[in-house]
Amino acid sequence: ENYARLADKLSIYVGFLDHFELAFLDRRGYLNFDTLPRLLEVFDKVHGDYPHTFLGLEVDFYSDQSPLVAEFCEEYRKDFDYLIGTVHTIDGINVTTQEEFEILISRFGLPNIVERYFDEVEAAIESKLFDGMAHIDAVMRFVPLYSDSEKPRQFSLMKLLNFLTHP
């Protein structure tokens, strides 16, 4: 509510965005089906007092579970001003923590990780489930630690540019 009050005072819009990971609903402290109604209830009160506020949800996309993601988005879209897609995992292993990134490297090798990540981002975009995508280059966080080569970075930039210019 403090952010909304400040935004109102400054005459600016403010959006609130939380993560929702369908594959990891059992993680303690994460938003899940039990805590989602409370988030919506709290936001409704804030929005009632500060109408220049917006509520979004960052929803993880898993191409192997796209029907489940689509069902969730369809059911909850009405409760949010925007849904943002994101990709955090490859084969259920998180690309945004160094420990899990090392597991991915040992299993698939760096070039395959980068390619598979961007394939998943592309599938999320093509699904048309989301109003936008968050941190589409998250996989690049640890690449410099494991490669002096510019090839993974060049590949990711070329793949993104190609997709954005030829949707």
Render pLDDT for 54-111 as a digit per residue (tens, 0 to 9).
Answer: 999 999 999 999 999 999 999 999 999 999 999 999 999 999 999 999 999 999 998 8
pLDDT for 73? 97
Compute the average pLDDT of residues 151-165.
60
- Asked if 147 contacts 110 with a C-beta cutoff of 8 angstroms, the reply is yes
Compute the average pLDDT of residues 46-58.
94
Amino acid at 85: G
pLDDT for 23? 78
Residue in the structure block whose two tokens are 């589409």? 136
pLDDT for 31? 87
Question: Would the pLDDT of 155 be above 90?
Answer: no
